[in-house]
Structure 1
Amino acid sequence: MMSNHVIARRATAAGVVMLAAALASQVAAAEGPRFAGPLLSPAPPLPVGMLNIEPYLINSQLRGLYDENGDRRDASGPDGWYLAVPIQYGLHERVTIAASLNASYNRDDGNRRAFDIGDTTLSALFGLYKGEGVHRPTLTLAVRQSIATGHHDRLEERPISVASGTGVGATSLGLHGQAYFLDGHLRMRASTLWRTPGANAGVRGQSAFGTPVGFDGRVRLGAAVTSLLAAEYSLSPTWVLAGELLHEREGAGSVHGRVVTATGSQDMYRRDPASWRFSIVPAIQYHWNDHVALVAGAQVSLAGRNSSAVFVPQVAVNMGW
Structure 2
Amino acid sequence: MPDVRLWVQEIFPTGRYSDLSPATADLERTGGGVYATTFGIALQKAIPFGGAHVLRYRLNATYGIYSSVDVQGFNAYGGGFGTAGRVTPGSVSTVTVAGEYSLTRHLVLALDIGFQAVNATHFSGIPGLDAHGQSALVGRGSSNLVTIAPALEYSWNQHIGVLAGPWMSVRGQNTSEFFGIVAALYLFL
Q: TM-score range by the shorter chain?
A: 0.7 to 0.9
Tell me, yes or no, if structure 1 residue 209 matches structure 2 residue 90. Answer: no
CA distance in 1, matches of 2:163, 2:12: 27
Which protein is richer in helix relative to its size? Answer: 1
Asked if 1 retains the 8 angstrom alpha-carbon contact of 2:80 and 2:128, the reply is: no
Going from structure 1 to structure 2, the CA distance change for 1:194 and 1:204 (only over 3 Å counts) comes to same
Counterparts of 1:38-77 in structure 2 under 5 Å?
A: none
**TM-superposed deviation, 1:271:** 6.5
Matched, 1:177 2:43: yes
Provide closer, same or farther for how the CA distance between residues 200 and 293 of structure 1 changes in structure 2, counting only shifts above 3 A.
Answer: farther
Per the alignment, residue 191 of structure 1 pairs with 60
Match of residue 132 from structure 2: none
> Could you tell which deviates more after superposition, 151-160 or 235-244?
151-160
Residue 270 of structure 1: CA displacement?
Answer: 5.2
Q: 1:238 to 1:165 in 2, by over 3 A?
A: farther
Amino acid in the other structure paired with 1:278: V
Using structure 2 for the length normalisation, give the TM-score.
0.78
For the residues of structure 2 that align with 1:313 and 1:207, how far apart are their CA atoms? 31
In 1, the alpha carbon distance for the partners of 2:158 and 2:18 equals: 44
1:282 correspondence with 2:147? no
Q: Does 1:145 align with 2:14?
A: no
Report the identity percentage: 29
Contact kept in structure 2, 1:238 and 1:287, CA below 8 Å: yes
Deviation at 1:167, TM superposition (A): 2.9
CA contact (8 A) 1:245 1:278 kept: yes
With normalisation by structure 1, the TM-score equals 0.49
Structure 2 residue identity aligned to 1:165 = G
Instruction: Quote how far apart the aligned CAs of 1:247 are.
Output: 0.4
Root-mean-square deviation over aligned CA pairs: 2.8
Give the number of the structure with larger relative contact order, counting CA–CA contacts within 8 Å between residues 6 or more apart: 1
1:296 is matched with which residue? 164
Matches within 5 A, 1:89-168: 131=1, 137-156=2-21, 161-162=26-27, 163-168=29-34
SS in 2 for 1:161: helix
Deviations 1:142-167 (A, max 9, x none): 21122333443444278662444333
Amino acid of the structure 1 residue aligned with 2:13: A
Aligned length: 180
Partner SS, residue 26 of structure 2: coil
Contact 1:256-1:268 at 8 Å conserved across structures: no
Shift of 1:218: 2.6
Maintained 8 Å contact 1:229/1:245: yes
Q: Per the alignment, do residues 220 and 316 of structure 1 end up closer, same or farther by CA in structure 2, a change over 3 Å counting?
A: same
Please give the alpha-carbon distance, in whole angstroms, between the structure 1 residues aligned to 2:124 and 2:106.
Answer: 53
Shift of 1:277: 0.9
Task: Quote the Cα distance in structure 1 between the aligned partners of 2:143 and 2:85.
Answer: 23
> Residues 256 and 269 of structure 1 are in contact (CA less than 8 Å); yes or no, is this contact kept in structure 2?
no
Larger radius of gyration: 1
What's the counterpart of residue 234 of structure 1? 102
Structure 2 unaligned blocks of 5 or more: 130-134
C-alpha distance in 2, partners of 1:260/1:251? 23
| Aligned CA distance change for structure 1 residues 248 and 212 (closer, same or farther; 3 Å) | same
The answer to whether the 8 Å contact 1:255/1:269 transfers is: no
* In structure 1, distance between residues paired with 2:81 and 2:152: 44
Distance 1:161 1:271 in 2: 15
Counterpart of 1:311 in structure 2: which amino acid?
F
